[in-house]
Amino acid sequence: MARIALVTGAASGIGEAIARRLAADGCHVVVTDLDGDGANRVAAAICASEGSAEGAALDVTDAVAFDATVDGVVERHGHLDVLVNNAGILAHRQEVVDRMGAAMMAEMAGEVPEPTSVLSTLDGETWDRTMKVHLYGTFHGMRAALRHMERTRSGWIVNLASIYGLNPSPLTPEYAAAKHAIVGLTRSTGREVASLGIHVNAVAPGYIDTPLLSAYDDLMRSLITSQIPAKAMGRPEDVAALVAWLASGEARYCHGEVHEVTGGARG
């Protein structure tokens, strides 16, 4: 009997790589994304590669919709074994990047830099949207899945945190705050349900070459790469491999843990 896995934000990037990897490992994967057409495309590609998958549109900020999606999966397949909370966004604020760059140039020239004004100019809409997608989305998924996993006393939940869930991110404080919260939620719930045989863990990627970083120009990408000991950004498949391990029986002794995949970077 195939294991049933649900992956959010799986129409592209890391989520797509995770869905493909879990399918290759023998799971039937429910590919979900706010972009329903994208989710269906990925599911179709998995099936064309002799895997097993289905696609569905899902807004992770909608608790009722998340409950219904998980309940529907359990109704159709009898169980849910794996949940991967991957859905995420990253607000690109070019004016902040420009101010950061100007401050760096001023310091290099021995001048007093102007304030970068990152948090003081952050609008409430960006803050709310970041929290709702990352933190609330993860909470909604964990709660919906645990309602079933607690009854079966079995299950694997893997949350996508970030290197900036463990370190500061002056450029994107809203993103760091959400990811720090996911780390706390993972560690707390992981300890709570460990005795039930349920594994809740997180993966903290560093800079991974995905569409989320598409707004960065060549100079910014070069600056990022120069700070990574491995001297290269990671690939979505690097994250997917770690997620697949945490969602397997091989990670039987992992509960409430956060595993990094960063190329040696520390934020």
Query: Active site residue: 136, 164, 175, 207, which one?
Result: 175
267 domain-assigned: no
- Say yes or no to pLDDT of 220 above 70: no
Distances (CA, A) of 33 to 70, 197, 223, 258: 14, 28, 31, 24
* Range among 87-91, 98-102, 211-215, 263-267 rated most confident: 87-91
User: Which tokens in the block code for residue 266?
Assistant: 């520390």
Residue whose C-alpha is closest to residue 6's, from 28, 38, 37: 28
Q: In the predicted model, what is the mean pLDDT of residues 77-85?
A: 98
Predicted confidence band at 217 (pLDDT cuts at 50, 70, 90)? low
Distance CA 114, CA 99 (A): 8
Does residue 233 or residue 115 have the better pLDDT?
Answer: 115
How many domains, in total, are found in the chain?
A: 1
207 as an active site residue: the answer is no
Predicted confidence band at 175 (pLDDT cuts at 50, 70, 90)? very high
Residue 46: domain span:
4-261
* Range among 22-26, 110-114, 211-215 rated most confident: 22-26
How many Cα atoms occupy the beta-carbon half-sphere of 64 within 13 Å? 0
The DSSP secondary-structure symbol of 88 reads -
131 domain-assigned: yes
Helix (H) or strand (E) holding 71: helix 63-77
CATH code where residue 245 lies = 3.40.50.720
| Predicted model pTM | 0.94
pLDDT of residue 130: 98
